[in-house]
Structure 1
């Protein structure tokens, strides 16, 4: 199992005013979401596909992220057919109800197709679509919410390949944020013959990056990373091949960053950091207030 990273770099210190002066009370309910780290092998090690979100978006504007997004009603279509571990297995891994687990897997595949053009589906349990470009119209319909993934796959004679996905992590936005997500991170290999294009209106650019290179770009100020993305890249950088990533043992626990004051700065802290137990969930809370997870 990959060891935890418990301390964030100083670059994640944020000035006073970066969070709302009066945090929501009660805290906003996190929206369930899924994100997928698409990986491919190169002679220099694994690369991961990333999108730079359009500046000015309500959440993570200008940040470099992995394809993903929130679960919506389309993803709860009970007609969805897939191969691989059943919803009950994913429900145990994600520690949630079976229906939500199914919707999360569906959202992961749908968002990956919408935002990168990569389709984790095939005619049967032993094959994957080699060229998703003929399904461009369906991709657009999915983006416009005119079609559910279950409807698209059924019409195309395809099944979702849940066996191509591996659970990786579970991050929840801090309670001090007005817009919150409970995001499950998954990993998958870029299927043979497919090409990630990043052709989405939500991104201004996209490309493949070695995890270490993405982190160096962030350090140099050439891109923005959120703590979950930084930590995930740090973890991925420890592997020499995609196969090693997929074989890694993971135990998903909800990671909820907290915010602590240090002078005029606010510092994000993670579970395992010595200051985490005494950090306030709300900026206006007493330091010894506990956040119930």
Structure 2
């Protein structure tokens, strides 16, 4: 049987704060979206043909997609060697459908893809109308106080928030998130800085995670492997949110 999972990429941008937990860049997807509508997620999206053309090495297309989607969805520059003074025009051109390679060239910008550190790869095995094979990366936020501009029609909000605070919102029922996002938030909540998150990522293998259902004492649980750095590796199937 052919694999119909859509290649995608997601970027977890981490902003350090003195003597406080780091903040993560999160967006809330518009409720009408076919995938994860209304849920809090990290910026990201499909890997497109232009990303593959721009890539110079295997694996770079996913990083390029993560950089492009983050800029398009939030206006935040990440993974660029030179930080632009204002990203509004770049974001607006991307939203209008401008090619990323042409955009970088016209604005004199170069990618700095080593800024992105591989963190995880999730690929649900369940039969759904839309399945994604998503590579997750982490990156340090660029210096400066960048205004966040959620992409109209895609994101209702974009914000800096700690992993613990997102999890608290989910527990209180004031926010929702799909199963992979929750597991990644729990993993990220362990770290007090970007360096800690990076070191942890480098110390664990990035293997494709395809959650499976396991029955224990008559109760069904959604499971993931135990050796990939996640502090929580199972959730009751009735509680898990999938989209």
TM-score, normalised relative to structure 1: 0.70
Matches within 5 A, 1:108-257: 108-122=66-80, 127-129=81-83, 131-133=85-87, 136-145=88-97, 147-201=98-152, 202-248=154-200, 249=202, 250-257=204-211
Deviation at 1:105, TM superposition (A): 1.4
Name which structure has the greater RCO, CA cutoff 8 Å, separation 6+.
1
- Which string of whole-angstrom CA distances, capped at 9 and with x for unpartnered residues, describes residues 61-105 of structure 1? 011000000111221224x6xxxxx72xxxxxxxxxx2xx22211
CA gap 1:143/1:74 in 2 versus in 1, 3 angstroms: farther
- Aligned partner of 1:60 in structure 2 is 36
Which structure 2 residue ranges, 5 or more long, are not aligned?
A: 228-233, 235-243
Distance 1:144 1:266 in 2: 45
Match of 1:11 in 2: none
The alignment's TM-score, normalised by the length of structure 2, stands at: 0.83
Alpha-carbon separation, structure 2, partners of 1:169 and 1:56: 27
* Superposition deviation, residue 261 in structure 1: 6.8
* Aligned position for 1:18: none
Aligned counterparts of 1:185 and 1:151: Cα–Cα separation in 2: 25
Q: Could you say which structure has the larger radius of gyration?
A: 1
TM-superposed deviation, 1:268 = 2.3
Query: Secondary structure of the residue that 1:113 maps to in structure 2?
Result: helix
Alpha carbons 2:63, 2:137 under 8 Å: kept:
no
Q: Is the 8 A contact 1:51 1:207 kept in 2?
A: yes
Question: C-alpha root-mean-square deviation of aligned residues, in Å?
Answer: 2.6
CA contact 1:48–1:208 (8 Å) conserved in 2: yes
Kindly state the Cα deviation for residue 194 of structure 1 after the two structures are TM-superposed: 4.9
Give the C-alpha shift of residue 258 in structure 1: 2.1
Are the equivalent residues in 1 in contact too, given 2:28–2:157 (CA < 8 A)?
yes
Report the counterpart of residue 283 of structure 1 in structure 2.
none
Q: Secondary structure at the match of 1:186?
A: strand
8 Å CA contact 2:60–2:113 kept in 1: the answer is no
The count of residues paired between Structure 1 and Structure 2 equals 225
Cα distance, 1:239 vs. partner?
A: 1.0
